[in-house]
Amino acid sequence: MEPFFGKVLKKYREKKRLTQKSLASKLGIDVQDVKWWEESGVSPDKSILREICQVLDVSLDQMMIRAGYLPEKFAEVWMNDPAKISKFLQEQMPNDTENESVQCVSKELKPILKTDLGSLYKADCLELLSKLESHSIDCIFADPPFNLGKDYGKTVNDNLKEEEYLKWSFNWIDEAVRVLKPGGSFFLYNIPKWNIHLASHLAKYLNFRHWITVELKFSLPIPGRLYPANYSLLYFVKGRKPNVFNPPRLPIQTCRHCGGELKDYGGYKNCMNPKGVNLTDVWSDIPPVRHRRYKNRGANELSLKMLDRVLDIATEEKNLVLDPFGGSGTTYVACELRSRRWIGCEIGDCQPIIDRIQEKSTDRELLENARSRINILFTPESLTLRSKFGHKNGSYQIEDNDNGDHKKSKRTVQRGLPFGLKEN
């Protein structure tokens, strides 16, 4: 049973107006056992659990479901068609609120920013997560501090002992798993050193999909070590398959000087999908955010391109996305531009996030540029270089544009907001 069993047990015990000692007495066990179950979240074996349910006047199935665990007899039915069942459950929920992103949050917590799509809270991640309803989030993206001793302000300690960092990480992950819907996707961005441990913990409750390698070079090599050149993005799903899986396709990689293919596709050119090549689990095209025009704070921040890709893979319009580590607000801006509902928090300075959400012109320009380079076989720049240097497109399936110039895809020359961007 999942680790928040202890909270459910405590809630049912208090509802029956029983102390830990009185519950232990009725069960004929030591009170320390009850304390252990409630504090650790570890559940007893089923024979004891049935006795507990009888004393608390609750069914075993109800207890397990409230703890975020799907009983085996329901699991096969659920997993065979999670989208259909999720749709049924959504239809049972009320639909009459102005800002749907705050429906699942306790009224005790007040947002410091609300838009038509999302809500931002100045709060610790565990504070926000504890206020969220179970099974309320479609997709989670988390980019926690990496515990590298960086300065994120007085409210963040980025230099914990290893066991303290992992314990804190497991605590917020357990809460995040609780709030994720069946079929929902969970993305966790961190350095491999930590994601080895965090992936093992996540695998207890979620289904592993991918370990995505994001190729990003650090500024300096580390003496006595291989040059660190990647971060890792874990991708898990709650259940056997995700409710949404729609990865974008990418253009063929070409030489930036002459436009020639970096990989020889030989006699398979006519088999290439005209919308591009399949997305792999190694992302070498995510640029670091270093130019001051695009930086929104002194500390590191995520590439808008990466968040846009995550939204493509695992969400649809109006899905609810949670990012419990606001940082510079990249996730929230991506959601605003892509018509996804969102909810998030930041324990540090929230003003850069607020400013960025209220003035999205630079981010809109960046995203337009990034999205004009997906779901096409060649970028416009590559086609121009290929024509200039005599590279033949051969049997590649590339749609002609209206005037017949070097076979551009029509989607690459459209104006305005391409491929799913919304005017806000």
**Rounded CA gap, 228 and 112, in Å?**
38
Look up the pTM and report it. Answer: 0.71
**For residue 300, what pLDDT is reported?**
63
Q: Which of 140-144, 150-154, 264-268, 327-331 shows the lowest mean pLDDT across its residues?
A: 150-154
pLDDT tens digit sequence for 206-260: 999 999 999 986 656 778 888 888 999 999 999 999 999 999 999 999 999 999 9
411 pLDDT tier (thresholds 50, 70, 90): very low
Indicate whether 319 pLDDT > 60.
Answer: yes
Q: What's the topology of domain 100-246+285-359?
A: Rossmann fold (3.40.50)
Q: Which CATH class is domain 5-69?
A: mainly alpha
Is residue 283's pLDDT more than 80? yes
1 touches 174 (CB < 8 A): no
Question: Is pLDDT larger for residue 100 or for residue 180?
Answer: 180
Least confident of 13-22, 111-120, 367-376: 13-22
Structure tokens at 419: 């491929």
Domains 5-69 and 100-246+285-359 share a fold: no
Enumerate the domain spans of the chain: 5-69, 100-246+285-359, 251-276+377-424
**β-strands 320-323, 137-142 pairing:** parallel
